Amino acid sequence: MISLRSEGRAMGAVISRNFSLIRRYLGWEVVFAFYNAVNALTIALIGLAEPGPGQGERVLYLAIGALLWNFLSVLFFEISNSVMWERWEGTIEYSFMAPVRRITYLLGVCAYAVVYGLARTLVVLLGIFLLFHLPLAHADIGGALLVLAAASLPFIGLGLLGAIMPMLSAERGAQATQVIQGVLLLVSGIYYPITVLPHWLQTVAWFSPATYTLTAVRQAVLQGTAPGALLTTMLGLLGAGLILVPIGLWAFHIAERYALRTGKLKRNG
């Protein structure tokens, strides 16, 4: 019981620390949110470039891509770079020396990433609602949110896998996570159907959870597909999460042991 309370406090400490950091870097947060919103709006505006029927659906198609990518990329970035921030600040040895289970620490990071990602996405959503009149009469928003919730799990798993790289090298690890994020953006059909990709890239797209997430969310919002009809996709995403999260935790454990053996947890490098 006491141990559970301690672990709960430790998880709360990680979340609270990250929100304190947001408060201290508030100027940057406003700039990032502004840029995200403008970026999403400019992408959605492409939908208006071609007049005629289906214009509203085109804007909505692009807006869904921008919103989902905003959430999923923040989720991946925050988790995969949590270790990098600690390395840059020089606090990683103190965090890892504390008698807290690594899974607790990582759960704190993931919980913060979900809340922070949702907040950032909400800002973008407000911007889109202010600028566009979207045809949402047939949309099944509840179904879309269920798909998004299911998609969070595999992205948390990918984030955990990404987090092991900055543990081994702060700079190169951060570079590697950017590359992974770029590949996911390219292949997952964020702003276009994956059928426009070269065939070999379409094969890569099959391995991205974002591909299935976007397809299902677009079905729910654009065609009003009921959650029951999206159940297979949701179960698939949950299944991918149930595989990727344990693999991420296991890989993190192995990487941490390697870092302890080779002295990679030291402040620099």
Please report how close the Cβ of residue 11 comes to another protein at its closest, in angstroms.
8
The encoded tokens of residue 197 equal 């990709």
Task: For another protein, give the closer residue by CB, 195 or 268.
Answer: 268
Residue numbers at the binding site for another protein (CB under 8 A): 2-3, 5-7, 9-10, 12-14, 16-17, 20-21, 24-25, 89-91, 93-101, 105, 257, 260-263, 265, 267, 269
Q: Which is nearer to another protein, 24 or 138 (CB)?
A: 24
Nearer to another protein, 7 or 57 (CB): 7
Nearest distance, CB of residue 161 and another protein, angstroms: 19
Q: Encoding tokens for residue 202?
A: 């379409």
Q: Which is nearer to another protein, 105 or 116 (CB)?
A: 105
Measured from the CB atom, is 58 or 101 closer to another protein?
101
The alpha carbon of residue 145 and the mean position of all alpha carbons in its chain are separated, in whole angstroms, by: 15
Query: Within a 10 A sphere around the Cβ of 53, how many other Cβ atoms?
Result: 7
Closest contact distance (angstroms) between CB of 45 and another protein is 36
Would you give the DSSP letter of residue 230? G
Kindly tell me which of 3 and 195 has the beta carbon lying closer to another protein: 3
Q: How far is the CB of 10 from another protein (least distance, A)?
A: 5
For residue 34, the minimal CB distance to another protein (Å) is 21
Q: Is the separation of the CB atoms in 240 and 86 below 8 Å?
A: no
Instruction: In angstroms, give the least distance from the CB of 31 to another protein.
Output: 16
Q: Name the residue nearer to another protein (CB basis): 1 or 130.
A: 1
Token output for 22:
């947001």
Cα 123 to chain center, whole Å? 16
CA distance 29 to 11: 23
Residue number with CB closer to another protein (20 or 42): 20
Shortest separation between residue 19's beta carbon and another protein, angstroms: 10
CB 122 → another protein: shortest distance, Å? 25
208 neighbors 76 (Cβ within 8 angstroms): no
